[in-house]
Amino acid sequence: MRRAVLISLALGLAAAWPARAQGEPAAIGAAPRRGPAAQRSGRKGAPAIRGRGRVTIHPDWATHPATRYAALDADACRAEASRRSLEVTAVESAPGVLAPVRIPNGVGGVVFRTAAPAHQRASSPFDVFDCRIVLALHDWSALLRAHDVEEVLIFSAWRPGRHASGAPERRHPGGLAIDAYRFVKRADPISGARASLDVDRDFHGTPGAPPCGPGAPPPRPESIEARELRSIVCEAADQHLFTVMLTPHYDRHHKNHLHLELTPDVPWHLVR
């Protein structure tokens, strides 16, 4: 009888626990949102540090591009985009996104888009970005062009939340993340063919291992494409362009894409 009761309780708790969407990382080192209730560390203005065992804490976190961009308000981000002469199109309504924009012609010579036809992308929610991550993508484009990449295919940027209240959200519900799965190179000047780097096909990661740094194992099997994809990730990590970078090393949900994200109010970054 007692065993039956315990099983019933376990099943009830499992049913009540909210499911996590496939491909969406679990909360890692998440800092509290801005507000009077947010706990602070001993340093004035610094967010509370959580998740120490899973993230990298940087004493100079405030100088990182990802930190500076994530801290911008909507007006400041639009002003910076204008200063850089970025072609961004404001989106009238995108609940949860602080400064929603579209970038139909890309930024910095690189197009970031879903695989939907152009006429659908003009109204698709998945091609909406928060202005702040567009600044990070603009920085990243310089590294991508060095690898002859001119187009990055993504599964989505904004993914509208199920219970969007209109307040700024994080990750995909806030338009602050992209899931990049293919990097398309410039056309060959002779054949016209366009090579690509596909995360699912070419990354050749080791689950659980770091993708960058001295402890990172080489791709298995090793290939030119795998090495180049690793360089694309680690060069961006070295420049701290994103707060969170999740690769196929992270878990099975990320086997086929790179999750790249800006996270406001945190003094850490995560590359896995």
Read off the pLDDT of residues 166-195 as tens digits, 9 standing for 90 and up.
Answer: 689 999 999 999 999 999 999 988 888 899
**Phi-psi bin for 265: left (phi > 0), alpha (psi -120 to 50), beta?**
left
Average confidence (pLDDT) over 28-50: 35
| CB atoms near residue 138 (< 10 Å) | 23
Tokens of 172: 């995909």
Please state the rounded mean pLDDT for residues 197-209.
95
C-alpha span between 246 and 91 (Å, rounded) = 28
Q: What is the mean pLDDT of the chain?
A: 83
Give the model's confidence band at 212: pLDDT under 50 very low, under 70 low, under 90 confident, else very high. very high
More confident residue, 191 or 131: 131
**Residue 41 pLDDT > 80, yes or no?**
no
pLDDT for position 36: 30
pLDDT higher than threshold 70 for residue 241 = yes
Task: Kindly indicate the confidence band of residue 54, based on its pLDDT and cuts at 50, 70 and 90.
Answer: low
Render pLDDT for 62-105 as a digit per residue (tens, 0 to 9).
899 999 999 999 999 999 999 999 999 999 999 999 999 999 99
Give the pair of three-digit tokens for residue 271. Answer: 């590359």
- Domain residue extents for the chain: 57-263
Query: pLDDT at position 164, please?
Result: 57
Confidence of residue 209 (pLDDT cuts 50, 70, 90): very high
